[in-house]
Structure 1
């Protein structure tokens, strides 16, 4: 099987020459040189100011390798394209080049942590001083109340089975305790909302022409959709527990009924789907801007 062709990004100070491989020999001041066979390159991306001589450009043109010049902020400036072979800047190819970088884990980890921290901070501000238990009890008409399931050992075990996600989240547990939202209830709702957010992201990506499969790289343990869904699910905490319309739905069910809680969580997500779609679009836009910056940093 032939190796996958990937985009080659050049740094602003890179020196490029052609050898008999045929390969491109890359070098920069203070760094060891490297060789990249032309047969492994899908496109060549160079920042403004990077010197590409005629020999390199002709070799790329003869093999149908598009050359893209970018401004320093990552904005495309000009293409060199072989006639009959228009460039296709697909998401899968862009993501393949991004996750293959040696600095991807560190850079993406910083971006992911920043998005999660922002989502958490917003919910902390919006739920400040709120008590779900008190709000629910004020309008309770004999339905399930927060302490009801906690007093039943079998119910607690059932919740532990259904709410086990990908490990505990100390921040979430602390917030649930401060707001008097039962842990099993909050964890279960967050789990449902993550699933709903994943489907919402898939809908959004399809609408804007992004291949959802390009956002998952199992071999490298990269799942952009799951990371985004984790942030988006937090965005449901305030509307899902504090608003009067949501409290009315929670009062109608027994909170120790796992199936009823899951159904109510999904119903609440659908009620706020338009707002969540705006959040998903904004999160994807932030990721796209970050990806452009990453592509321009060499």
Structure 2
């Protein structure tokens, strides 16, 4: 059975360091290139993909899991992962998110407690919406400045449309549509794992998300600020084969994980400051 380093080499699975377990736990992507079967043996996932030797990945080495719908994995295995605090996102080949499963091991209770108190206010959704719009405008201004685009930085919708047009110009309309969904699933999976570190896990997600999908809401300004990264990647693609898009996006996302971590943590810090001011 293959070891963890051999798995990384054979499957081209990017496994970058997690701030939750630095130096040990990594992001794990399975099934985006070929069908796979996943089972549990002891405290490890055993992964068998078509035309590949099976390999074992200890749960302690996994920070979050991003699965394709082409992966055959039982609910029992999924439950074992989440009980160990490993959040899971499942997406189809088009990038559409099918399932989000939260773990149960948040280590920083401060953000969770402040969110819980604020969510008891009946004006909570409107107040959060105002904050969220401000974050979208801020992220849009940053993206426009880095892209060198002219125009009103506050027009969030027009920036979104222009970015989609740019992606379509480089990749074709159909591929661009798929890339937008796939990129969203990657940023959402990161944000879900980051929120779990702050205690927004399976125990508290229900009351936080009663009116607001917090992970999706926070993933939106993160995606917007990372827009220059995605558009630069698209401009460098030359007739990309549809079956390789997923892996090249994963390579991009994990290859720039330090930028993404810094941007995402900055957003969460601004949320925390806002909660402190409104507590």
Higher-Rg member (1/2): 1
- In the superposition, the TM-score normalised over structure 2's length comes to 0.49
